[in-house]
Amino acid sequence: MISIYPATEEHFSYIGTKILKPIQAIITKEDNGKYEIDLKDTIENIDYYQEGLIIRVPTPWGYQGFRLTNPKKQNRYCTCKGYHLYFDTKRYLIWDSYVVDKNCNDALDHLNNACDSETPFNFISDIQTVASYRCIRHTLEEAVALVIERWGGHLVRDNFNIGVRNDIGEDRGVTLRYGVNIKETDSSEKWDDVVTKILPVGKDGITLPEKYIELEEELYEIPYSKIVHFDQDNIVEEDYTDENGTLDEETYHNDLVRDLRSKATAHLQENKIPKVNYKINAYIKNVSDIGDVIHVNHPKCKIDITTNVIGIEYDCIREQYTKIEFGNFKEKLENLRENIISTVTTQITGESNEKIAKLQRDLETATNRIMSAMTDSFVIYDGNKIMIVDSLPAESARNVILINNGGIGFSQNGINGTFKSAWTIDGTLDMQQINVINLVADMIKGGTLKLGSVLNESGKMELYDEANRLICLADKTGLTVYCEDGTYVKLNPEVGFAGYDAQDNKIYWVDGDEFHQKKSVVEEEITIASKLREIPITITENGQIINDGIGFVALV
């Protein structure tokens, strides 16, 4: 039964305002991607296919609601698309909220509660990974996408109940074979990364004593051998250096070798079979939902390739699957990364007109410099490298860009000069000077952090607690520490050290070598100029207090 409901319905405790019998109702569902329905009906029912209404349809995963949008008239028919109720998450906004050291379940609850208004969603997750995430001016949909990117997992969407699960689907022993039950398919295969034998190379060119890591089983008629370079930034010399600056070279080297072997072994297992993708316009027996396991018997591989269902097309009227897509590609969040990047870019460009004007001037200067030099640029392909020089022959060039499999280097001293700026293949950006407009990072390590300038650009440091309250601010006015009751403390050259109440009145302060305060409570004693001490004195007689006050004691 297909029913229509008002836009505000959340509980679906009745059959709806109208039972519909559309001509077409096709659901498309993807892992962490689309979940939508395409509808077609006669023009007489167009009043029930209006923007914002909810249509509820039977599916193999229970009755599901879809919010209708963009209805169209086509002669005697009307068509409409509906998006699963999960996508109502784009209607809720998060201003600024910080998830600190939480598992995925707590992170989702935190963000759901941080929205600009109460949502109808219930979130749940079985992912125990602990991580942090700062959400600044995103929709709830974008926030969930970033949680999945950071914590991992797969979306499980059931009306307003949203799960992020570590694993989905089942393995029911389904095996497909080329030429048998894989016939009329759209397929793609990527063999570029397949490897059966690795010569791993790590930090500073380190290699393994055994030289190679190789699969025990023989999977193919021909070998797939590769030299693979691995990033080992997780192992740093400082952790193996004592307080005298002496490096424990043996332990450092052994840990690098152990780490390299582990990474090479994992890479070998991850890439021993090709990346495949198949689309079949038919139902596959025992396959029921996203994530279900399908084993593929590939003629070029001696073991079955394990894949998962990543896309389904289901006909709600005929109650049958019309298309199954499966493969071993990694899950994706469709277009959300691009949308989020676009949103962040828009926020950055709107923050400071003066900053934008300066950035525009810098960009124009750089553009003019590049464009004016293009007529004097020459590209040289030299076997294993590419050089871009400002004059020929290359030996006479002064400005040089060198590109090879190690990265990109820049020199202003010719092809044999020092490349003082470089972007290496391991992700290291080595520059003597970098101007950054916006930087988002989990951790920044370095020596001196220099903030502020003539325009006070980025001359500010803010510190927040877990409740997203500002507790400390360092800017051109000095250092300010905020308390929960509205009082605060300032430290700067103008006021020195001072405390203020919630109405901005000074309650204590330092003036030269004097300390002032409006009120003082002393629990035990006061010493004056090392000569006189005030202490509390209680005099009793026959067990009764006859004098209770302050006494003065001279110090010798």
185, β-bridge pairs: 280
402-432 residue pLDDT tens: 888 778 888 877 777 677 677 777 667 766 6
pLDDT digits (tens, 9 = 90+) for 155-194: 999 999 999 999 999 998 888 877 666 655 677 888 899 9
What is the rounded average pLDDT of the residues 41-66? 96
Q: What is the pLDDT of residue 75?
A: 87
φ, ψ of residue 253 in degrees (nearest 5)? -65, -45
pLDDT at 162: 97
On the question of pLDDT at 548 being above 70, the answer is yes
End-to-end CA distance of the chain: 98
User: Does residue 125 register a pLDDT over 80?
Assistant: yes
Q: Is the pLDDT of residue 98 over 50?
A: yes
Residue 274: pLDDT above 60?
yes
User: Lowest-confidence range among 345-349, 351-355, 458-462?
Assistant: 345-349
> What percentage of the chain exceeds 70 in pLDDT?
83
Q: Supply the DSSP symbol for 59.
A: -
Per-position DSSP letters for 355-400, written without gaps between them: HHHHHHHHHHHHHHHHHHHGGG-EEEEETTEEEEESSSSGGG-SSE
Residue 286: its pLDDT value, please? 84
How far apart CA 292 and CA 307 sit, in angstroms, is: 8
Residue 112 has pLDDT above 50, yes or no: yes
Mean pLDDT of 205-224: 91
CA pair distance 474, 480, nearest whole angstrom = 6
For residue 352, is pLDDT > 50?
A: no
Burial bucket for residue 294 (CB in 10 Å: 0-12, 13-18, 19+): buried
Residue 343: pLDDT band by 50, 70, 90 thresholds? Answer: very low
User: Worst-scoring range by mean pLDDT, 57-71, 82-96, 474-488?
Assistant: 474-488
Confidence band, pLDDT 50/70/90 cuts, at residue 48: very high
For 68, the token pair is 């209708």
Helix axes 140-151, 336-349, angle to 10 degrees: 120
> Average model confidence (pLDDT) for the chain?
84
| Contact (Cβ atoms closer than 8 angstroms) between residue 308 and residue 291 | yes
Backbone angles phi, psi at 527, to 5 degrees: -110, 130
Alpha-carbon span 226 to 192, nearest angstrom:
11
Quick one: pLDDT band at residue 354, thresholds 50, 70, 90?
low
Handedness of CA 80, 84, 87, 92 (dihedral sign): positive
Q: For residue 61, which of 312, 347, 260, 276 has the smallest C-alpha distance?
A: 312
- Check pLDDT > 60 for residue 247: yes
* pLDDT above 90 as % of the chain: 42
* Residue 149: its H or E element: helix 140-151
Residues 311 and 291 sit within 8 Å (Cβ to Cβ): no
The burial of 431, by beta-carbon neighbours within 10 Å (0-12 exposed, 13-18 middle, 19 or more buried), is given as exposed
Residues 381, 386, 389, 395, Cα dihedral to 10°? -70
The more confidently predicted of residues 57 and 378 is: 57
Alpha carbon distances (Å) from 385 to 237, 403, 408, 466, 484: 31, 6, 10, 50, 60
The model's pLDDT over 129-149, given as tens digits with 9 standing for 90+, comes to 999 999 999 999 999 999 998
